[in-house]
Amino acid sequence: MSPKEAARRRWTRVAWAYGLLLAFGVFFVGPFLMGFLASLKTNPLEWPFTLGFPQVRPKNWAAAWQLGQKGSGDPWLGGMRPGREVVLEVAYFWPEPTPPDLQAAIPRRKPGAGMGAVFEGPYAADYVGLLGPELVETRPFRLGEAEGYLHRFRLRIAYEKEGPYLERVPLDLEAPRGALLLEATLDPVRMERRGRVASWDNVVPGLLGYAFHNYVRAFRESRSLETGQSLFLRWTLNSFLIAFIKVLTTLVFASMAGYALARLRFPGRQALFLFLLFSMMVPGQVTFISNYLVLKDGIFGLSRLFGVETLLNTYAGLILSGLVGAGAVFIMKQFFESIPREVEEAALIDGATPLQTLFRIVLPMATPALGALAILTFQGTWNEFFWPFIVLTSPREIYTLPLGLLSFRNAYGQVGDWGLILAGGFLSMIPILILFAVFQRYFVEGVNVGAVKE
């Protein structure tokens, strides 16, 4: 075989390998990307699915930034404050030189369905004035095979009198039949009445308020009826708190129990290990009723010593019922058994106690196992739904994020507002993705035993 033919075959194999990897990547990552793009849309259920919707166009990002800056001084989240004015331009194709009759209005519109329809807030129509549409340009224009005229209009939206900060200023612009919207300073989020009405949910959205409209709604619309605070933010903080505590308790108890089962010799050690393995085989659905009754009675009445009748609807009950899992103890036991005994024997000769050997010698060497266990525990706790659904029932302020997303589905799924539900789901994935990206090396890194000389 000639060198050229060998090189050609080698590059062919490389091309096949990378082609297969690319195909698998598209197959697995494709639905994720499509779901993310759908979460940006005003109507994620539109069909056929298009990739060129307004929220992904850089031209609209720049316009949303500028309009938010002019409306409130906040280019990220936008809004409008007293004494501010913004200008919006639109261009229509019309077959006649006489401009079409446009009807513009600032509607009294709720910010959204579900939870967003519950709260009463200031309406922009009560404070903001609309000037125009004012014709600023007319010129001949050809659209495909049709010849006509391009008419450009300018609308001025002014907040002249005193009033509250307005999170949003909606706008509807109705054109006669036959008029086609060609361009706008900020593209409308939807076209209604067979394309005759261009509708903006907010003409001063800011960059995040336009491109990530559903994500901003997730924080703004899910508010407590009593305090007015964002429930989505509260649910996120609740999940972080519970996950952090469970990771901490799991690392402490699993490492101590795993070290005892791996290294210490005591009566019943083997029976205890077998019981540990047996408990891993029993699914949680078998024991959740008995666990529920134990929490309901306050762990056999012990909670009454602290003035608490029951541990239901409390974080204490949720955390105490899962301080450490049998699987975590098993992982640490198996890892400790892979560490050479010579390291511990050297510490013993130097006068170290078993606890000193564990915390000063063994645990630093067990960093890969502890890191992997922390990630797995955080992921499991963050995504846990069934047991929190049983323990935490009311009020909504104590929900974890998965329970909060269920309430999103109940509130918004009935009216078909799936964009906000998708946005909430993707927000819940961000901590897990960051965690895996930062600590992925702990899944493949082995223990370093180079300090032991043969």
- Give, as one character, the DSSP assignment of residue 71: H
Do 400 and 278 sit in the same domain of this protein? yes
Find all residues with CB under 8 Å of 190, minimum gap 6, and list them.
Answer: 42, 43, 199
Find all residues with CB under 8 Å of 289, minimum gap 6, and list them.
Answer: none
Helix axes 213-221, 3-40, angle to 10 degrees: 40
If one counts the domains in the chain, the total is: 2
pLDDT of residue 2: 76
Kindly report the CATH number assigned to the domain that includes residue 422: 1.10.3720.10
What pLDDT digit, counting tens, does each position of 2-17 carry?
Answer: 777 888 888 888 888 8
The residue ranges of the chain whose pLDDT is under 70 are 1, 112-114, 116-117, 442-454
Do 241 and 180 sit in the same domain of this protein? no
Do 193 and 247 sit in the same domain of this protein? no
Domain contains 437:
yes
pLDDT of residue 452: 42
The secondary element (H helix, E strand) that includes residue 376 is: helix 367-383
d(CA 190, CA 216): 18
Domain contains 108:
yes
Domain contains 106:
yes
Domain contains 22:
no
139: left (phi over 0), alpha (psi -120 to 50) or beta: beta
Domain contains 453:
no
Backbone torsions φ then ψ of 442, nearest 5 degrees: -70, -15
Domain contains 17:
no
Do 167 and 203 sit in the same domain of this protein? yes
Do 242 and 341 sit in the same domain of this protein? yes
At which of 187, 214, 241 does a domain end? 214
Domain contains 251:
yes
d(CA 29, CA 83): 47
Do 203 and 239 sit in the same domain of this protein? no
Closest C-alpha to 236, from 38, 405, 386: 405
Do 158 and 254 sit in the same domain of this protein? no
pLDDT of residue 56: 93
pLDDT of residue 446: 42
Do 434 and 380 sit in the same domain of this protein? yes
Do 122 and 191 sit in the same domain of this protein? yes
Do 314 and 202 sit in the same domain of this protein? no
pLDDT of residue 447: 38
Do 257 and 208 sit in the same domain of this protein? no
CA 344 to chain centre: 45
Do 175 and 274 sit in the same domain of this protein? no
At which of 164, 182, 214 does a domain end? 214
* Domain that residue 71 falls in: 54-214
Angle at Cα 182 formed by Cα 196 and Cα 91, nearest 5°? 90
